[in-house]
Amino acid sequence: MTETVKQLIIINVIFFVGAQFVPAAQDFLALFYFENPSFKVWQPITHMFMHGGLMHILFNMFALYSFGSALEHFWGGKKFLFFYISCGLGSALLHTAVNYFSFHDGLNFLMENGFQKEEIIKILAEGKFDTRWQEIMGNTNFTSFLQSYIVPVVGASGAIYGLLVAFAFMFPNAELALMFIPVPIKAKYFVPGLLLVDLFLGVSGKSIFGGSSGIAHFAHIGGALVGFIMMSYWKKNQFNDNRWN
């Protein structure tokens, strides 16, 4: 395990254990929608080190160890950390942008149906909702509207997806295997396929097994997109590794 990857894993574990003893830390450090009173300027960074459960952090840290170590070995610690944090921020940005459109679509719909904006915002800021909203919006639109404003996002997944893209750039023919896919798949096919699945689930708002997934799919896409842009730029311009070492 490389040094920066090890330090990132340690920080994530410390945040996770700390949140178990101080539950309020989750709301303080998770990323809330920027128009929500609970939003704080540090959350786009701190949400990367928070996780929603044991399996969430285990999967993310295993991926960080598996893919991050290989990348840091070739890049060095400074360049790797710059890439990792950038992808995490890109993840937060796209997730927030999608929430913005989802929330304001719902808000405008409610206003068109006679509800006052100030009253809607006041109710939401208290973590509540009016049952009449659900009746006129329908379950799917209502859930999307409510979640975009109230539900915070946590996890290193966006940054991890950036690492996956970088790994596919650098080792396209490396074979990857998952527990539920018995045949190894080359990274250049596996990563785009994974992103297409995320995009479909994000647009549909469903999980693979039906119902709401509770997964911030567009956060994954955001991290991957920033990773793709950075890798494309570095490849095109023959980025000098020494600049970051």
Query: Per residue in 129-156, pLDDT tens?
Result: 999 999 999 988 898 899 999 999 999 9
Q: Pick the range with the lowest mean pLDDT from 83-97, 158-172, 209-223.
A: 209-223
Residue 28 backbone zone (phi > 0: left; psi -120 to 50: alpha; other: beta)? alpha
Residue 50 CA to residue 16 CA, distance in Å, equals 6
pLDDT greater than 80 at residue 180: no
Closest by CA position to 58, among listed 156, 190, 126, 147:
156
pLDDT greater than 80 at residue 237: no
pLDDT greater than 80 at residue 30: yes
In the chain the first and final C-alpha atoms are separated, in Å, by: 18
The pLDDT value given to residue 211: 46
Task: Quote the Cα angle for 179-191-244, to 5°.
Answer: 115
The model carries a pTM of 0.89
Q: pLDDT tens, 72-90?
A: 999 999 999 999 999 999 9
CA atoms within 13 A on the CB side of 56: 18
